[in-house]
Structure 1
Amino acid sequence: MAALPQPQIRIPATYMRGGTSKGVFFRLDDLPERCRVPGEARDRLFLRVIGSPDPYGKHTDGMGGATSSTSKAVILSKSTRPGHHVDYLYGQVAIDSAFVDWSGNCGNLSTAAGAFALHAGLVDPADIPENGVCAVRIWQANIGKTIIAHVPVANGAVQETGDFELDGVTFPAAEIVLEFVDPADDGDEAGALFPTGNLVDEIEVPEALVPGGRLKATLINSGIPTIFVNAADLGYRGTELQAAINEDAAALARFEVLRAIGAQRMGLIKDLGDAARRQHTPKIAFVAPPVDYVASSGRTVQASDIDLLVRALSMGKLHHAMMGTAAVAIGTAAAIPGTLVNLAAGGGERGSLRFGHPSGTLRVGAEATLTAGRWSVTKAIMSRSARVLMDGWVCVPGDSF
């Protein structure tokens, strides 16, 4: 007699928006025991929660939204690291393959991580003001970095509503200021701010992808490893919206090849084929000087209101706005004279800037210094918002992990 299917189990979870992303948040202690440690069981659980792999690309049978911005899972726990409140671990769940990428952070969900830490009771009540701002010190476990989320508090609880507007998010909410502390490594070559040691590299690429077979690129590791190229070198203006790239299969394939070549040059992968198992990092983005354009909302963004244009791809598709970690990379590169980002913004020294993305604009700031011929960045700052969308339990079949 065939065994009866196992019933569904219920796991405490919170569905949250953070910045222009959203994901399913868990307390580490609430996960099934075998999923509290890295490994196959945890990956299979997250895949089933999100609804991947989904050959239909819809995530109908899961909590995911079938985009890189909405196919995410987060684990938080009290931190044992001195000077930190919580440890934050982020998983980027692939849509059409059975794969969870743990290689990087999500800057947008870092916002929600700060708010969730308070919601979930992971911050010592003595550190939470009755009214004011709580500086939640987060250890980002994927990349080993400190993030400080300045979360507004009213009557001892997270203040979620407010009038802060973020392009790419429909409704206003309370502003949360994120501070990325020392977002670039000073360690091995692959983790250095400029892994190749150059502000601009000239990379050999297939002539079928780029005329002449050479492409200028700024390869930087701040917030998240990112490859910046000039839009014009690829035949773009920098004003493109999602459809112009995501509905062009040849363009997406070209970007993936270029991403793999850049990843190898940055020391992140050994062979070009390894890029398929490292989909979350590095990011690839193209930049251009400011011009007027119409954002996805229909609003016209004036060239006079921005310093440059940036379009970035995430998990193989053009992002609808901008990844938070990529914004850190943009702010850092813009602050360093001579990078492609800095040059597109007009050159010179810049402590902050506003850039145009498909959904509108975003301001980001960074502090970069040059010491003994070596650039370093002490912090990057941006404002986002977050709120709980649903709180309760997520249900998955008991035999799915």
Structure 2
Amino acid sequence: MSVKSQIKIPATYMRGGTSKGVFFKRDDLPLAAQQPGTIRDQILLRVIGSPDPYAKQIDGMGGASSSTSKTVIITKSERHDHDVDYLFGQVAIDRPFVDWSGNCGNLTAAVGSFAIRNGLVDDKRIPENGLCTVRIWQANIEKTIIAHVPISNGQVQELGEFELDGVTFPAAEVKIEFLDPAEDDADGGSMFPTGNVTDLLDVPDFGTFEVTMINAGIPTVFLKASDLGYDGRELQDAINSDAKALQKFETIRAHAAQKMGLIQTLSEAETRQHTPKIAFVAEPKSYTSSSGKNIAATEIDVSVRALSMGKLHHAMMGTAAVAIGTAAAIPGTLVNLAAGGGSRESVRFGHPSGTLTVGAQAEQINGEWTVKKAIMSRSARVLMEGWVHVPEDVLSA
């Protein structure tokens, strides 16, 4: 009986924002995996430990949640005005599927650090002390992101006093700018796929819901918490332990995806779980976060809860935060109305783990809404670096 061996691939395990994932330099991947295709997906699935019918990812690097079942591929950019190209793969937990349809805003915070540490940023652009501006091309959505990475004594500074709700320990602050996050963003085209800031969405067996469907950061559909029987203070267990509620959210999401033009038939939603995101909003209310921290209604402008890969997120996806900030800046959206209406350039919202502030500069040109950029602060840290090992049969198509 022949015994198969394993191959090893250089990799870095990193936390970025409230997510973590396995980072690769594209040139370190086996040659057959340096291009999109079956072998690349097979390698990433095996690295993370999917598909896993037990939904634990014990035999891989994944952490059995949408926030920890992630992969990143970085390469030096061929674009003269960018430093690196960043490709994100969301790995399904219980199915053999890697979703390449969108970005991960949280892991974006780690891209600049990874690029600098791996020699992908020109030394001339790295100060001895201060901030290194890393120009990132987000290949999934073809957008520019700017990361301001702190540098100390010529090295990436990872430790600091910046606190991010949803992350246990403080770290150095990384400011992220998402440039033109809505212009031609996603398959649906314009920022508002239907041309409206709100729509009525008919969902057979569940009713008709008022929604805001927006392409900014990541395609997102917002609903009112009250229309779903919630008050906006829910934590993970209240949603994720309710199978009927999860099925309802997924059905609504599928119908929204179709109306946004992201899919042609409802069945396609099964293979496009990363986008669109679905979230619900409510007016500010006091609540206790998942860590036991008391959040007063006066500390936030709006309450938001969002689902990722079929489950309520423990904090907030970075790309969804861009959608929240953009929608809050545009009068008449459900996010804007829940935040009190009017115009604004930043919003502080409550999520299950605490609060987050995101800024967005939106303006109306010739009757069409556009957003110049969205800004937020995250943090990142290397957890481990070395090699990941996977069975050699992943190289077989």
Which of 115, 118, 125 aligns to 2:116? It is 118
Deviations 1:282-324 (A, max 9, x none): 0000000000001000111000000000000000000000000
Which of 357, 382, 386 aligns to 1:388? It is 382
Conservation of the 8 A alpha-carbon contact between 1:189 and 1:196:
no
State the SS of the aligned residue for 1:396.
Answer: strand
How far 1:399 moved relative to its partner?
1.2
Structure 2 unaligned residues grouped into runs of 5+? none
How far 1:400 moved relative to its partner?
2.4
State the SS of the aligned residue for 2:40.
Answer: helix
State the SS of the aligned residue for 1:269.
Answer: coil
Conservation of the 8 A alpha-carbon contact between 2:185 and 2:216:
no
Conservation of the 8 A alpha-carbon contact between 2:186 and 2:215:
no
Correspondence 1:182-221 to 2 at 5 A:
182-186=180-184, 190-206=188-204, 208-209=205-206, 213-221=207-215
Question: Distance between the aligned counterparts of 1:261 and 1:162, measured in 2?
Answer: 44
Q: Residue 86 in 1 paired to residue 91 in 2?
A: no
State the SS of the aligned residue for 2:78.
Answer: coil
- TM-score scaled by length of structure 2: 0.98
How far 1:219 moved relative to its partner?
0.3
Q: Residue 288 in 1 paired to residue 286 in 2?
A: no
Q: Which residue of 2 aligns with 1:60?
A: 58
Question: Distance between the aligned counterparts of 1:224 and 1:203, measured in 2?
Answer: 19
Question: Distance between the aligned counterparts of 1:179 and 1:46, measured in 2?
Answer: 28
Structure 1 unaligned residues grouped into runs of 5+? none
Q: Which residue of 1 aligns with 2:105?
A: 107
Q: Which residue of 1 aligns with 2:267?
A: 273
- TM-score scaled by length of structure 1: 0.97
Which of 362, 366, 372 aligns to 2:366? It is 372
Which of 236, 240, 244 aligns to 1:246? It is 240
Deviations 1:113-162 (A, max 9, x none): 11101111100001100100000000000000000000000111100000
Tell me how many residue pairs correspond in the alignment.
395
Q: Which residue of 1 aligns with 2:319?
A: 325
Correspondence 1:132-171 to 2 at 5 A:
132-171=130-169
Amino acid at match of 2:321: A
Q: Which residue of 2 aligns with 1:30?
A: 28
How far 1:349 moved relative to its partner?
0.4
Question: Distance between the aligned counterparts of 2:264 and 2:57, measured in 1?
Answer: 32
Deviations 1:247-284 (A, max 9, x none): 00000000000000000000000001100000000000
How far 1:82 moved relative to its partner?
2.2
Question: Distance between the aligned counterparts of 1:299 and 1:320, measured in 2?
Answer: 14
Question: Distance between the aligned counterparts of 2:285 and 2:183, measured in 1?
Answer: 34
How far 1:190 moved relative to its partner?
1.0
Q: Residue 15 in 1 paired to residue 13 in 2?
A: yes
Amino acid at match of 2:254: A
Q: Residue 310 in 1 paired to residue 297 in 2?
A: no
Which of 192, 217, 225 aligns to 1:223? It is 217
* C-alpha distance 158-152 of structure 1, shift in aligned 2 (>3 A): same
Question: Distance between the aligned counterparts of 1:257 and 1:95, measured in 2?
Answer: 19
State the SS of the aligned residue for 2:291.
Answer: coil
How far 1:186 moved relative to its partner?
3.6
State the SS of the aligned residue for 2:188.
Answer: helix
Conservation of the 8 A alpha-carbon contact between 1:189 and 1:195:
no
State the SS of the aligned residue for 1:400.
Answer: helix
How far 1:185 moved relative to its partner?
2.2
Amino acid at match of 1:197: G
State the SS of the aligned residue for 1:202.
Answer: strand
Conservation of the 8 A alpha-carbon contact between 1:181 and 1:380:
yes
State the SS of the aligned residue for 2:331.
Answer: coil
Deviations 1:194-222 (A, max 9, x none): 0000000011112x32xxx2110000000
The Cα RMSD (Å) is 0.9
* C-alpha distance 186-42 of structure 1, shift in aligned 2 (>3 A): closer
Q: Which residue of 2 aligns with 1:74?
A: 72
Question: Distance between the aligned counterparts of 1:162 and 1:145, measured in 2?
Answer: 29
Conservation of the 8 A alpha-carbon contact between 1:79 and 1:85:
yes
> Structure 1 stretches (4+) deviating beyond 2 angstroms?
185-189
Which of 345, 357, 362 aligns to 1:363? It is 357
Question: Distance between the aligned counterparts of 1:78 and 1:187, measured in 2?
Answer: 23
Question: Distance between the aligned counterparts of 1:68 and 1:304, measured in 2?
Answer: 30
State the SS of the aligned residue for 1:191.
Answer: coil
Deviations 1:176-203 (A, max 9, x none): 0000000012479812100000000011
Question: Distance between the aligned counterparts of 1:271 and 1:320, measured in 2?
Answer: 30
State the SS of the aligned residue for 1:45.
Answer: helix
Question: Distance between the aligned counterparts of 1:46 and 1:346, measured in 2?
Answer: 44
* C-alpha distance 186-33 of structure 1, shift in aligned 2 (>3 A): closer
